[in-house]
Structures are given as C-alpha cells and as structure tokens.
C-alpha cells in the first residue's frame, strides 16, 4: 500500500491538527482533495486521514506525542531507515523516535533537523490490510 516503487509518493507532507477529520472535510470542500485512507480506532478516535489529488498525498495527523511543538511533519521514503538515522547526529540533528516496524507495513523513525522541524523517514517493508491497523480505505490510492 505504501510502496514508492509502485507509485506512492516519496515525499508526503503531514499537517497536524487537533481535529484531522474536521480539517479533512474543509480540505475536500475547498481544495477538492479526495479522502483515501482514515485510521480510526473502534471507539471512533481518528489518528490520521490521507487525502489525494492527481497522485499527490497529504497526510493529516494529530498534534502532540513525538510531534509536540510543531504544526507539520514531512514524511520521506528512503531506502534504509537505519542508515538515514546514522547520518543524523553527524549532520547536527536528533533521532526523536528510533526506527521501528509499524503495523501499516513500514519501518519508520522520527528525526529533528537543525531547527527542530520533524521529519518521519519510512522504508516500505510489506503490504498490509488497512483493517489490521484500524485503517479504512476510502478510495483508490496512488500507485
């Protein structure tokens, strides 16, 4: 599902909101973006929404946690998350969240750059069924 080799974007901006569902409604109305994935827990809490237009994706996430103190995050797919993390300290950055495998089929780490902006680096590991991580596919995904 999140495989750049099959057309999923390599760089995905993530804008953080207190209410990503409300933001998604606004963006679909105003910018004509199309909802494609929503991660919703059984109790109705929505962690993120992905929107698409013409092959580009923007992810709407929740504020807080490893993203505290910032309003946006940029997700970048790389060939090797560990190698990317090894380069961070030498370049003056920080690994905020160490690499770990995620239920949505990627290995992922969160980095902070020289000005403390957050970057999430991902490596596609395997395709997964969104239902396995409380995701719902709302429409066709790029790739």
Q: Give the Cα separation of 134 and 40 in Å (integer).
A: 5
Mean pLDDT of 31-60: 89
Residue 135 has pLDDT above 90, yes or no: no
Mean pLDDT of 54-65: 89
Chain centroid, CA 129 distance in Å? 16
Q: What is the pLDDT of residues 70-120, one digit of tens each?
A: 888 888 989 999 999 999 988 988 999 999 999 989 999 999 888 787 889
Give me the torsion for CA of 46, 52, 15, 123, rounded to 10°. 90
CA diameter of the chain: 44
Tokens encoding 143: 């790739």
- Tell me, what's the pLDDT at 143? 67
- Tell me, what's the pLDDT at 97? 94
Tokens encoding 58: 């923007």
Mean pLDDT of 13-20: 90
Residue ranges of domains in the chain, CATH in brackets: 4-128 (3.10.180.10)
Q: What is the pLDDT of residues 18-44, one digit of tens each?
A: 889 989 998 898 778 899 999 888 888
Q: Give the Cα separation of 95 and 17 in Å (integer).
A: 23
- Tell me, what's the pLDDT at 89? 83
Alpha-carbon distances, residue 84 vs 35, 55, 113 (angstroms): 30, 26, 12
Residue from 83, 84, 60, 56 nearest 72 by CA = 60
Alpha-carbon distances, residue 82 vs 79, 100, 122 (angstroms): 9, 10, 10
Q: Give the Cα separation of 101 and 20 in Å (integer).
A: 24
Q: Give the Cα separation of 16 and 61 in Å (integer).
A: 5
What length is written for the chain? 143
Side-chain-side CA neighbours of 12 within 13 Å: the count stands at: 27
């Amino acid at each position: 599902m999140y495989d750049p080799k099959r057309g999923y974007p390599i760089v995905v901006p993530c804008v953080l909101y207190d209410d990503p569902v409300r933001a998604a409604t606004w963006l679909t109305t105003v910018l004509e973006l199309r909802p494609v994935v929503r991660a919703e827990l059984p109790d109705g809490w929505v962690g993120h929404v992905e929107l698409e237009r013409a092959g580009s994706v923007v992810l709407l996430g929740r504020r807080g946690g490893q993203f505290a103190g910032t309003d946006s995050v940029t997700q970048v797919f790389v060939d090797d998350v560990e190698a990317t993390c090894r380069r961070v300290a030498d370049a003056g950055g920080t690994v905020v969240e160490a690499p770990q495998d995620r239920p949505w089929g990627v290995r992922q780490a969160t980095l902070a750059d020289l000005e403390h902006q957050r970057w999430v680096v991902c490596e596609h590991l395997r395709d997964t069924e969104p239902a396995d991580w409380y995701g719902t596919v709302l429409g066709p995904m790029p790739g």
